[in-house]
């Protein structure tokens, strides 16, 4: 699979996760952090997180499909994933069952930055090629 296909799959998963966090935050919090995690305040934060995931997911799908600002959207997602992973790994009191999410965040961040770099390189190569064509044709 190429970077675009992988990024689109992850972005669509991000949208689904965001919708779940927004619509049923209590269920999602219990799944991620255990039965005592679903407080009123935690549900508010889960909805905020869900909205962020929906926006990042839709922006990424749109930019990757249109091949505009794809590197920027994918790198923004990678930064969000890295921060999420670090917070999950380093926050005291996070249950053991939640620790794998830190690893997932870290891996997603690394793969996202790799894809963003590939998209930026692809864009640079296309600009170089267009400049060569313009120089050859004499524009």
| Helices within the chain (DSSP H only) | 3-23, 25-33, 40-66, 70-90, 99-137
pLDDT, tens only, 31-86: 988 888 889 999 999 999 999 999 999 999 999 999 999 999 999 999 999 999 99
pLDDT, tens only, 102-117: 999 999 999 999 999 9
pTM for this model (two decimals): 0.88
- Which domain does 128 fall in, by range? 3-137
Q: How far apart are CA 58 and CA 98, in angstroms?
A: 26
Q: Work out how many domains the chain is built from and give that number.
A: 1
Q: What pLDDT is attached to residue 138? A: 64
Structure tokens at 99: 């620790």
């Amino acid at each position: 699979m190429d970077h675009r296909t992988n990024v689109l799959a992850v972005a669509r998963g991000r949208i689904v996760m965001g919708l779940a966090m927004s619509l049923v935050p209590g269920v999602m919090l219990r799944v991620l952090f255990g039965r005592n995690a679903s407080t009123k305040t935690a549900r508010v934060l889960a909805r905020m997180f869900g909205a962020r995931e929906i926006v990042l997911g839709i922006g990424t799908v749109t930019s990757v499909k249109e091949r505009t600002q794809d590197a920027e959207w994918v790198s923004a997602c990678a930064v969000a994933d890295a921060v999420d992973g670090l917070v999950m790994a380093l926050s005291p009191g996070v249950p053991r069952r939640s620790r794998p999410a830190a690893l997932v965040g870290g891996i997603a961040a690394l793969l996202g930055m790799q894809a963003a770099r590939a998209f930026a390189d692809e864009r640079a190569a296309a600009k170089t090629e267009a400049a060569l064509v313009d120089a050859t044709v004499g524009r």
